[in-house]
Each structure stands twice: as structure tokens, then as C-alpha cells.
Amino acid sequence: MKKIVRSALAAALALAAAPALAQTYSQTVFFGDSLTDSGFYRPFLVQQNPQAAILGRFTTNPGLVWSEYLADFYGTGAAPAWGLTTTGIVNGTGTNYAAGGARITLQPGFRPQPPTSAAPSLAMQVNAYLARNGGRADPNALYTVWGGANDLFFHINGLTTQQQFLTAAVEQIGLVGKLQGAGARYVLVPTMPDVGTTPLGLSLGAANAAGISALVGGYNQTLFGGLAQGGLRVIPLNTFALLREISASPSVYGFGNVTQAACGATSALICSPADYPAGAQESYLYADNVHPTAATHRMLAEYAVSVLEGPRQVALLPNAASMVGRARAERVAAQLDPAESDGLRWWADVRGDFQRYGKGDTYDGAGPTLTVGASWTRGDLVFGAFGGYGQQSQDWGRRGGSFDQSDASLGGFVGWKADSGLWVNAQASYSQLGFDTDRDVVLGPATRTHEGSADGSNVSIGASAGWEFGWGALRHGPVIAVLSQKIEIDAFAESDPALSTSLAYPEQSFDSLIGSVGWQFSGTIHEHLKPYARVTWDEEFEDAPAEAFAQLQSMSVTLPYAVPGHRFDQTYGTLTFGARTQLMGMDANLGTSVTVGQEGGNHATVFATMGMGF
């Protein structure tokens, strides 16, 4: 028993490991039936038997259900919002209103006998939540509305007509609309799973199982077609397809039995380790005739995480491009001092960029860039052109996969410096961007990789100015700079579009406007060694997109959905230091630049520049 409890806790901790830099959702709120219920009946069971404290979930107890795994990942909660006792329903402090047996709007629950006959419908659950919160839904919370299976059971048991069954889908649409009308922005709506492929469905024979699958398909079509027609944007989960995919290749996902119930004839609600073979909570797909085992629930949560986090992963591409763009602009600006004599000069700059955000849990990686240019000096004026190419390899954190970025740039620059030490320069460039993504979706022991490719562009305009003064070998003075970047990334779709986990993404537009102010220092130790340093306070004046978008390719009827975007610290500092010298008869500039004081992230560059006149 203790070993099983430890295994359940370890699985929850593994899914919860490495939470996001900032909490993505203020809370997770669940409305649903036995698939989502985290303990509505536990008080009732404990009153009947004090030893039943580990029971009360519709799975291989004491394992968790998918709602608990999902809440653990986001650092929120999925404790029951209420519970059934022998004297009625009592309120709790949690945010999981789901109750096993619940129908969409009607009572009694299924089965229509105690205790499940007392299950509050999803409509009652939504009303209870709104009543507790003054009629308003928290716009920063993640909501789940998952139901319909118990309306199906009423129908296939001859207690309702098919029209009444499909009407429940229309009523579920109304509940989503009610939540969104009250302020909810992020509503997760899974499909009804294919009950025809469960042990219950299979036990009824091939013809009846196919009929049940068709009924479920009709419910899902009515639900999601109606949501789209009503303009209700939701986050869909194609659990119908996912569980079919697992059943078709069970060994890939660690299952040895996908047709029988691990708990035998015992209901999952009261199924304890004494009711299933050792290890069955991991090797069986189903706990009883319709309810998933703990391992299946964990995969459902992993699937939900992949759909919720996929758009947020792809939304990081323009941020990575903007950091590379800023590093390029800084290196070009460093070439804009007029030469000591008129004429042409060439230069080549090699740098390595290192990005790390969320301590690597958001993304991190590195890559080289070569930039070459030529400048012409005439008096106090210098102008010229440059071109460059670089590649970056980044890893999304939390086993999310990776992406590669290429950057081919062309640009021009101009600079001026007066005898008084006043200087000013400007530059403009166009970069052709390319991205190759490999997004990993972890499902138990299996990992799916969805590939994608997108092109993009970065139009950058920058200017800086300063005043250099000092005494003898030491020079110093103020510096101010501004860099504007307009980054566009084309829409693209991932590989294997028929799979439940494959996503497509709309085009992205990302604006960056960084202003910097600071002080720079330079000195001369001798003719061939001139160290320097610069420190700036930097402010990003453009906000990152508030939301990220995607569409589930296996459910093309749905609208693109939104999830919260990333929030990066917009105020930080940059420290640059290095030395100018001579190497092999050429001018050389060696140094590094690193951001400091940026909460949850940093960008570092090391560089080496060589050049000479001709």
C-alpha cells in the first residue's frame, strides 16, 4: 500500500516539476463528471467506512485523476469544492466541482441510485461557482467543462431518447457561453471519449459498440460545431482520438491490457489496491468498465499540458529572434568609430549568443553568428554596409523539444564623431529568419515529436549617441541608444496532422523597442591594449503579446484557441567589457556582453572582431 501511495505522489511531483517562470493561471476550476471528480464522494465513503480515506476517485485508488495532475503542473489546485455526506452536500474550499455521475443539466445522476443519484449536474456546478464569486468568473483562471457521458448512459439504458441525449450537447454549449459571459477567457473542453472502445462497449458486441461510438461522435460534432457556430473560442482536447491511438498501439504507451478492467467487477470509486493485480494501475488502460487507471489519467493530463503549452512554446520564437537582433545591432554599432585616416576598411565579427529563460525551463540554447562589413571614412563621417549569417539551437524546457533558428542579414550604417567627443550613429537592417521546430509530447513512456518549419523576417532600425571626455589615458562619458525591431513569423502546421496532439499556428507579429542609457569607459594601457567597459540601464517599451494561439489539427471544425502569453521582465541592465588590441597585424576587439538583473532570464554574448584598412 505505502509503495503505491509513494508511486502516485512521485508521478504527481514529476508532472509538477519545473513550474513556469510566473504562474500561468490564477487557479484551475473544474466542472464535470467522474472523469474529473477528485473526491466528491469521499466524505460519504469515510462515514460508511473510516478506512476508505484512500478511495473516492474513479480510478485505481489511491492514484490521482487527470485534473489533479494538471493542477499540480500549474501550481494551482484541484481539491473538491464540495462533498457528499449522509446528510447532504457540504461545501469545501477547493475549485473542483466535478461529481461522478453528473449529467449536463438534469438529475438524477447516473446510476440513478445512491450515492451517484445525488450528483449535481454541470449546470448546478457552474451556478454554484458563480454564486460563490459574485456572479463573475476569474478571467485569469483555467476552466474545464467536460461532460456528456452520463447523458449517454441514460440514453443507451433506454431512459432518454437520442434527441434528448444530443440536446445535452447544446446545453453544454450554453454552459460554456455562460462562463465566458461572466468573464472566463480560458475554457478547456475535452471531447467525450469513445465509450464504444471501453470494456463496457466491447462487452456489448461489435455492432452495439460501433453504435455507441457513432452516438459519441454525434455528440462531439454537435458540441464543437455549435461552439464554433456560436463564436465561442475554447481550448479543445481530442480525447476521443487520443484513447483510440493508445488502444491501437498499447505497448508503445506502456499498457499490456486495454480491453479489460483492472478492478474486475469492482467500481473504480471504491477500487483499492486489494482489488487489482500488482502494477495494474500502470499496465491497464481502464480501472473498471469505463474509467481510466491512474496511468491513463496521467497521460490525459500530459496531453492537456501539451495542448496548453504548445502555443506558448511557439510564441517564444520571436523573443529568441529579438535577442539575436539586439546582439547584432550592438556589434554593428561597435564598428562605427571613424578611422584615424580617410579610406576603406573591412571587418569581420564572430560572436556566440547564449540565451536562458526561466532557469532553462522556458528555453535555453546558443549559437554562432558571423557578420562582415566594409566602411568608408571621410573626415568625421563613416558609413558602410554589412551582412551576416547565424544559427541558434534552443531547447524548450520541461522535455518540450527544441527549435533551430537561422538568421541571414543585410544592412547599412552611418556614424559621426566631432572633435569635442560628441558622437552619433544609426543603422538599419533586414533579416530573413528561418525556424525548424521539434515539439515533443510526452505520453507516459512514449514521446511524440511533431516537426514544423516557418519563415520570418526582422526589420531593425537603431540609433545611439554619446559624449566622450576625460583625462589622459582614461576616457568616459554618457551613452544613449534605441533599437526598434519588427519581427514577423509565418503561419505553419506541424507534422502528422491526423494525430490528436498535432497543432497548427497562425502568423505572429512581434514588436520590440528597447531604450538604453548608461555610461562607458575606455583606457589605454599601451598602444596595443585598450580596455573598455559600458554599463546601461535598459527598458523594453513594447509589451509581448498577451496571448498565444494555436488550432488542433485533428479537430478542424474548432476555432483557433488562445492561452496566456509569456511575460518577460522588461527592465534590466547590460554590462559590456573587452579590449581593443592588435593581432597578426590587424585591429582586434575581444569581449563579452551580458544582461543583468533581468528576473527569470539572461542573454550573454562573447565576440571577437578583426579588421584593417585597405
Q: Which residues carry out catalysis?
A: 34, 288, 291
Distance between CA atoms of residues 614 and 607, nearest Å: 23
What CA–CA distance (Å, rounded) separates 59 from 244?
19
Cα 449–Cα 454–Cα 459 angle in degrees, nearest 5: 145
What span, in angstroms and rounded, lies between the C-alpha atoms of 440 and 435? Answer: 16
Task: Name the phi and psi angles at 102, rounded to 5.
Answer: -65, 140
DSSP state of 460: E
149-168 as b/e: b if 16+ CB within 10 A:
bbbbbbbbeeebeeeebbbb
With residue 591 as reference, give the H or E element that holds it. Answer: strand 586-596
Q: Which residues of 434-457 are buried (b: 16+ CB within 10 A; e: fewer)?
A: ebebbbbbbbbeeebebebebebe
List Cα–Cα distances, 187 to 224, 242, 505, 558, 576, in angstroms: 13, 19, 19, 13, 46
**Residue 36: which residues within 8 A CB-CB, separation 6 or more?**
30, 65, 66, 67, 96, 98, 144, 146
Q: Is 36 helix (H, G, I), strand (E, B) or coil?
A: coil
Secondary structure element (H or E) that encloses residue 210, with its range: helix 206-229
**Cell numbers found for residue 144:** 474545464
User: 314 and 592 in contact (C-beta within 8 Å)?
Assistant: no
Give the three cell numbers for residue 525. 594601457
* Cα(541)–Cα(463) distance, integer angstroms: 16
Residue 291 DSSP one-character state: P
Cα–Cα distance, 563 to 577 (Å, whole number): 40
Find the DSSP H helices in 472-527. none
Query: CB neighbours (10 Å) of residue 401?
Result: 22
